[in-house]
Amino acid sequence: MSADLSQSPGHPPSHGAAGPSGSNRDAPEPVIKVRNLKVAFGDKVIMDGLDLDVMRGEILGFVGGSGTGKSVLTRTILGLVRKQRGTIEVFGENVDDLEGAARRTLERRFGVMFQHGALFSALSVKQNIQVPMREYLKLSPALLDEMAMLKLEMVGLKPDAADKAPSELSGGMIKRAALARALALDPEIVFLDEPTSGLDPIGAAEFDELIMTLKETLGLTVFMVTHDLDSLYSACDRIAALADKRVIAAGPLATMLASDHPWLKAYFGGERAQARLPAGQRRS
C-alpha cells in the first residue's frame, strides 16, 4: 500500500502552471500524514492501521461506502474524535504534541465545511463569516465588513446574500456560505464534507469549478469527502479509497480504475462511473 501512497499527485495539465504554491508543485510534500491510525467506538472498530498522505496544493477526493468512516477520519484529523492508536502529522508536526495555543494556531490553518453547512442559524451570512475573524483577528469594523464581502464574492454569492439568515438560503447558497466561512482566516487546508451532496448537477459542477479556482488562486490544499463521481473525475487530483477499515488505494484516477479491489471495481466499474469514461477506456 505504501507504494500507492507515495505516488506523486497527478496534476492534470490544466491545473498546473502558476499558482501561489506553484513553486512547491515539483516536490510534493505531505501536509497531512496519517500513520497506522486506529479509531473505535466501544467495541466497534471503524479504522485500523490506516495510512494516508495529503500532498500540498492538491485536491484529494476521499471515497468509501456509506458508514465506512469517511467523516470519522475527517473528524479525527480535526481532533473532534479521539483515536486509539497511530500518529497524525500536520505540517510536519505531530498533533498529539500540540497543546493550547500551538493547537489553536494549527486549527487556524484549517478551514472546515460541514456537510449541512453548520452555519449559525441565529446569525446572518455576513456575521457567520465574521465569527472566526472577530475571534482571531483585530480588524477595524469597516475592514471586517469588506473582508466578509470579499469572501462572499470569492465563493460566488451576491452581495444581497450578506444580510440573509441561513434559513433563507437555498441548498447551493448554504454550501457556498459555509465555504466562505471556512475561508475566513485564509486557511491552508480546507476540509469539505460532501460539498456537492444535495446539489443539482449544474450546481455541483459549478461548485467543483469554484473549488478548483480557489485552489489555484489561494494555493489551498483540499481534502474532500465525496460520493460524487463527477467531482472525482473533474476536480480531484488524487483519490483515496476507504474500505476494510483502511485506505485500500490512493492515487490518480487511473490507479483507481486499474485496481483489482472488489469494492473499487464495483465503484468505478458500475454503469454510472463507466458512462463518464471515453469509450476506449470503458471496461467490456
Partner 1 sequence: MASLDTAEPQAVFHDDAGSLAIELTGSWSAERAPRIEALVAEMGERIASVSRATLDLSAIIRLDTLGAYVLNRLKNQREAAGGSVELVSRQPEHAVLLAEVNIHDCSVPPTVHHFGIVSVLVNIGEAMVRFGRDMVGGAMFLGEVVVGSASVMLGPRKFRGPPLVNQIELIAFNGAPIIMLISFLVGCIVAQQGIFQLQQFGASAFVVNLTGILILRELAVLLTSIMIAGRSGSAFTAEIGSMKMREEIDALRVMGLDPIEVLVVPRILALIISLPILTFISAMAGLTGAAVVSWLYGGIGIDTFLARLQSVITWKHFAVGLIKAPFMAFVIGLIASIEGLAVQGSAESLGRQVTASVVKAIFMVILVDGLFAMFFASIEF
Q: Which of residues 39-98 bind partner 1 (CB under 8 A)?
A: 91
* Burial category of 140 from C-beta neighbours within 10 Å (exposed 0-12, middle 13-18, buried 19 and up): exposed
CB atoms within 10 A of CB 39: 22
In one letter, which amino acid is 35?
R
CB of 18 to partner 1, least distance (A): 5
Comparing CA positions, the residue from 24, 71, 26, 10 lying closest to residue 223 is: 71
Q: Which three cell numbers stand for residue 232?
A: 472525482
DSSP string of 192-248, one letter each residue: EESTTTTS-HHHHHHHHHHHHHHHHHH--EEEEE---HHHHHHT-SEEEEEETTEEE
CB of 105 to partner 1, least distance (A): 6
| Candidate ranges 16-24, 67-75, 202-210, 255-263; the one touching partner 1 (CB under 8 A) | 16-24
* Minimum CB distance to partner 1 smaller for 153 or for 244: 153
| Rg of the Cα atoms in the chain | 19
Give the orientation angle of helix 141-154 with respect to helix 171-182, to 10 degrees. Answer: 130
Comparing CA positions, the residue from 13, 30, 65, 9 lying closest to residue 253 is: 9
118 lines the binding site for partner 1 (CB under 8 A)? no
* Minimum CB distance to partner 1 smaller for 131 or for 137: 137
Contact 137, 189 (CB under 8 A): no
| Candidate ranges 72-80, 105-113, 190-198, 276-284; the one touching partner 1 (CB under 8 A) | 105-113
101 lines the binding site for partner 1 (CB under 8 A)? no
User: From the list 43, 160, 260, 271, which residue makes contact with partner 1 (rule: CB under 8 A)?
Assistant: 160
CB of 87 to partner 1, least distance (A): 20
108 lines the binding site for partner 1 (CB under 8 A)? yes
User: From the list 147, 205, 243, 277, which residue makes contact with partner 1 (rule: CB under 8 A)?
Assistant: 147
User: From the list 97, 135, 163, 209, which residue makes contact with partner 1 (rule: CB under 8 A)?
Assistant: 163
Residues that bind partner 1 (CB under 8 A): 18-22, 24, 91, 105, 108-109, 121, 133, 136-140, 142-143, 145-147, 149-151, 153-154, 159-160, 162-163, 167, 185-186, 188, 216-219
